Structures are given as C-alpha cells and as structure tokens.
Amino acid sequence: MRELHHSTVADLAARLRARDVSAQELARHFLDRIAASDLGAFLATDPEASLAQARAADARLAAGDTAPLLGVPLAHKDIFVTRDFPSTAGSKMLAGYRSPFDATVVRRLAEAGMVTLGKLNCDEFAMGSSNENSAYGAVKNPWDTARIPGGSSGGSAAAVAAGLVPAATGTDTGGSIRQPAAFCGITGIKPTYGRASRYGMIAYASSLDQAGPMARTAQDCALLLSALCGPDPDRDATSLDLPAEDYTRGLDAPLDGLRIGLPREFFGEGLAPDVRAAIDAALRQYQALGATLVEVSLPRTELAIPVYYIIAPAEASSNLSRFDGVKFGHRAGQYADLADMYRKTRAEGFGEEVKRRIMVGTYVLSHGYYDAYYLQAQKIRRMIAEDFQAAFAQCDLIAGPVAPTVAWKLGDKADDPVANYLADIYTLPGSLAGLPGMSLPVGFGAGGLPVGLQLLGPWFQEQRLLNAAHRFQQATDFHLRRPEGV
C-alpha cells in the first residue's frame, strides 16, 4: 500500500469509504507534513478548524454517506476567501483579513465533504508567473528548491507535488493553473470561462479569472471539477447557466480518431529543445493511443502578450481600486487627509508588480489612450478567439507546450517583468478566448525538471481534455513520479 501522501484523491476517497482510514487520520497526517515542510507553500493553517471539518466528514462516513470526495483533504489558493482561515491574496494589503463568508468554490467543495487544511501562497493578487511576487516570500519548487514553482498558483502546485495535500484549488487568468502545474509535474485544469463561480475569488481581471483544480491525475481533477463547477446566478453574473457535469464519466473513452491540432506558432523559435523533445515524445504517445496529429495555425499568438498585458491590468486597475484603507485591509498609520490616507495606504499595501499593473491599467483606460490601447486590444482579443474557432474546424483539441522552458531559478527573472510576461506566450491565447485548458506531466527536461503538455479544447469541452489526459496517464507514469525525498 502506497504512503497516504502518495495516494491520489480517488484512492484516498475509496479508502475512506472502506473505513480503512478516517478523515481525521488523513487530516493529521497531512497537517504534520505541512508543519514539517519548508517550501513556503502554505500561508495559513488552523489544525483545530481542519480537524473539526474532518470529524464532521467522519460522521457522514459513519452514517453511510458515499459522496465521492467525502473526507479527502485539500487546500485553497489564498485568492479564495474563507471564513475559517485568513485570506490575503498574497498581499500585505490584506494581511490578517478574515472574510465573513466562503467563496462559492470553497463552499461547494466543503459541501462535498472535503476537509480544508489551509491557504496556499501565491503571487500578490495572482499577478505573476513565479510566485516571487508574493508579499509573504517565494515558494520553492520541490523538484529543485533553488527554482520557482511557477505562478501565480505556485503554492498550490508545490504543495501537491510535495505530498502536502492530495489536491488544491488554483485560479487561472492567463495561465496560473497550467504553468505551475507544468513546472511542478502535476495535473491541473482551467475550465471554460464561466463554468466556475467567481464569487469570493479576489478579483484580478474579471473577464479572464477562472477557478480550477490541481492534483496528481486527470481523474482527480475530474472529481474536483465536477464538485466545484456549476451556475451561481445570484452571485456571479458571468457564471454559465449550465448544470454541473460528472466529468469522471467518459474518462476511459478510447482516443481512436481524435484529431490533435498542433499550432505552428507554438513550436517555433523560443521553445527550448528539452521541452520540445518531451512534447514530441508525448505526441508520439498520443499517436500510439489512436490520435492523429494535424498542423493548425493560431496566427495571432504573439499578439496575445500585449493584448493580455493591456486588458488584464486595465481590469485590475478597476478591481483593485476597492483597496483604499476604508472598509478593510491595510490602512496607513499616519496621514493628513483622506487623499493622503488613500495614497499612503496603497503605496504601503501593494507590491511593485501590482503597482506597475495599476499604473499601466489606468494609463490604457485614460481618455486619449483608451482607443489606441484598450479598444484595440479588445478587437484583437476577439480575433484570437476567431483563430481558435477556425483551428477547431480542423481538430478536436489543441496540444502544445505550457511554457517555453522548464522552471527557472529563483531570482533569475525577478527584476525583469517583461521576461516574465514573455514566458506566458502559450497560455495567454487560450485565456483570452475563454477556452478550457489543462496541463499534464509528460516528461522531464534539463536538470530532471518536469515538462507539462498543454491541451486546449473548444468551449465547454472539459470532458474531452480530461479524457485525453486520463488515457495518456493510463499509458504512462509521469504523473506518479515524485521529487526526491517526497
């Protein structure tokens, strides 16, 4: 029998139902591991609160409840607000903040019987690709602790990879589930924009933000996604009026005849040879599983970077205007008048990258520049979505790298925002189009660091992505490999 912390969510759930282990034993086991870890993945734990949830789960189990996730532990990215734990969004601005309510995603997973073990580190307000923008320190990649875990859901990815939790939530605005999943050798899925409620997700760029699960396997992601999705009409006007699906159905469907589109622009200059080699091998595996490969084109791929880095900061500058020191969060200690209080509060509370984006966003929305930047970016965003629609006429799903390289060294790009932005090239187009996307581990590059394969599907086709990822995982064992010492 594998160690508890090497088990998948599906295994743990089965063992809980078989009464082979209790929810309280599991919570204790993982809490001990969290306490002993020095990766910096967790920002908050509260063993008493977690054990109370575990006791409630054990009572449901004892009463014969067979809910599929009952008693399984997880942790939430600190972008989700939670009643039982502080919620900081990785920012000093929200140090010590307690929400009076749970985010819808948190509530749904709690109702499914999952036990929350704490809150996970992330880039401040989910702005970043390395987790180095957290006000609470960087997270280390468990595969090489001198390297970044990716971002912005870096704590989530590192925690799962290190066996501190069997699953975690993440959020993805421009790649923040897919890229850290890739860098830490785990599986993650961002559903179609609108599938998961954004209620209680601290807003970064509202037209892009989406929640999703991060875990070891596609099957585990399917289990969590089934529980966390669904309409939330009273609380998130952009949540889709589509019933939650059971994504575990259809995982085993054969891939014969599946047409996988390879965007020419995802395999060009800039893609590191070691990443390319792992992706190519994965594609050969897909051929062996019955899929056919077709070349497609996403001609505006490069434009996704400037378009995203106009639209996302524009929305952020508006969303973050609520942090003014009046109702909640940090407030400057000394100030002359109201304007001075706003100014000092925001100057002290926000980090460098967040301030940079607020300024860029304010600029591109300002009178005189709105048409030249923001409006233009919106038009190109539409064209990027149209490019995907044209590509999906020729294929069932799109595959490519998640990131151009494996995880880089801590500090390497810390002083170079543009270098960070450029590394988002393969995840941004799907985000701008609102498509479902996932990352699954498919090999190792230089230094034995994990490489992720990105799968993108047409709107609402999460099932197709999970099926393709699951079949790959049935035929390979990359998702079961662990960093040394874990």
Catalytic residues: 77, 152, 176
Minimum separation from the CB atom of position 286 to ligand GLN (A): 26
186 contributes a contact to ligand GLN by CB under 6 A: no
> Within positions 144 to 163, which residues make up the interface with ligand GLN, using CB under 6 A?
152
Of 323 and 342, which CB lies nearer to ligand GLN in the complex structure?
323
Q: Which residue in the set 163, 174, 361, 430 belongs to the binding site for ligand GLN (CB under 6 A)?
A: 174
Q: Which residue in the set 57, 75, 94, 127 belongs to the binding site for ligand GLN (CB under 6 A)?
A: 127
Minimum separation from the CB atom of position 174 to ligand GLN (A): 3
- Pattern 12-51, binding to ligand GLN, x per CB under 6 A? ----------------------------------------
| Binding range to ligand GLN, per CB under 6 A, among 112-120, 161-169, 171-179, 340-348 | 171-179
Q: How far is CA 281 from CA 188, 236, 278, 445, 470, in A?
A: 20, 41, 5, 12, 17
> Within positions 302 to 341, which residues make up the interface with ligand GLN, using CB under 6 A?
312
User: How far is Cα 426 from Cα 423, in angstroms, rounded to an integer?
Assistant: 8
Query: What is the residue whose two structure tokens read 């977690």?
Result: 50
**What is the DSSP code (8-state) at residue 409?**
B
User: How far is Cα 178 from Cα 389, in angstroms, rounded to an integer?
Assistant: 21
| Binding range to ligand GLN, per CB under 6 A, among 61-69, 123-131, 250-258, 282-290 | 123-131
Q: Coil, strand or helix: which one is 437?
A: strand
454 contributes a contact to ligand GLN by CB under 6 A: no
List the Cα angle 272/276/281 in 5-degree steps. 155
403 contributes a contact to ligand GLN by CB under 6 A: no
User: How far is Cα 23 from Cα 136, in angstroms, rounded to an integer?
Assistant: 30
Q: Which residue in the set 58, 324, 424, 462 belongs to the binding site for ligand GLN (CB under 6 A)?
A: 424
126 contributes a contact to ligand GLN by CB under 6 A: yes
Q: How far is CA 115 from CA 39, 123, 143, in A?
A: 22, 24, 26
Q: Which residue in the set 11, 144, 172, 387 belongs to the binding site for ligand GLN (CB under 6 A)?
A: 172
Nearest Cα residue to 332 out of 349, 320, 319: 349
Q: How far is CA 99 from CA 30, 87, 228, 229, in A?
A: 25, 7, 20, 21
Read off φ and ψ for residue 385, nearest 5 degrees: -65, -40
Minimum separation from the CB atom of position 134 to ligand GLN (A): 12
Minimum separation from the CB atom of position 420 to ligand GLN (A): 7
| Binding range to ligand GLN, per CB under 6 A, among 29-37, 105-113, 126-134, 269-277 | 126-134
176 contributes a contact to ligand GLN by CB under 6 A: yes
**What is the DSSP code (8-state) at residue 153?**
S
* DSSP code string of 331-370: --S--SSHHHHHHHHHHHHS-HHHHHHHHHHHHHTSTTTI
Q: How far is CA 389 from CA 393, 427, 438, 456, 458, in A?
A: 7, 17, 18, 12, 8
- Pattern 187-206, binding to ligand GLN, x per CB under 6 A? -----------------x--
User: How far is Cα 179 from Cα 134, in angstroms, rounded to an integer?
Assistant: 17
Type of residue numbered 319:
N
173 contributes a contact to ligand GLN by CB under 6 A: yes
Read off φ and ψ for residue 112, nearest 5 degrees: -70, -5
Q: Coil, strand or helix: which one is 397?
A: strand
Q: Which residue in the set 129, 131, 141, 467 belongs to the binding site for ligand GLN (CB under 6 A)?
A: 129
Task: Let me know if 21 is exposed, middle or buried by CB neighbors in 10 A (0-12, 13-18, 19+).
Answer: middle
Which residue in the shown chain puts its C-beta closest to ligand GLN? Answer: 176
Binding residues with ligand GLN: total (CB under 6 A): 13
Contact 196, 229 (CB under 8 A): yes
User: How far is Cα 67 from Cα 54, in angstroms, rounded to an integer?
Assistant: 14
Minimum separation from the CB atom of position 128 to ligand GLN (A): 5
Contact 136, 86 (CB under 8 A): no
Minimum separation from the CB atom of position 126 to ligand GLN (A): 4
Contact 479, 308 (CB under 8 A): no
| Binding range to ligand GLN, per CB under 6 A, among 141-149, 167-175, 322-330, 332-340 | 167-175
Of 75 and 223, which CB lies nearer to ligand GLN in the complex structure?
75
132 contributes a contact to ligand GLN by CB under 6 A: no
- Pattern 264-303, binding to ligand GLN, x per CB under 6 A? ----------------------------------------
Beta strand residue intervals within 216-297, DSSP E: 259-263, 292-296
Of 127 and 468, which CB lies nearer to ligand GLN in the complex structure?
127
> Within positions 54 to 93, which residues make up the interface with ligand GLN, using CB under 6 A?
none
Nearest Cα residue to 429 out of 402, 461, 393: 402
> Rule CB under 6 A: which residues touch ligand GLN?
126-129, 152, 172-176, 204, 312, 424
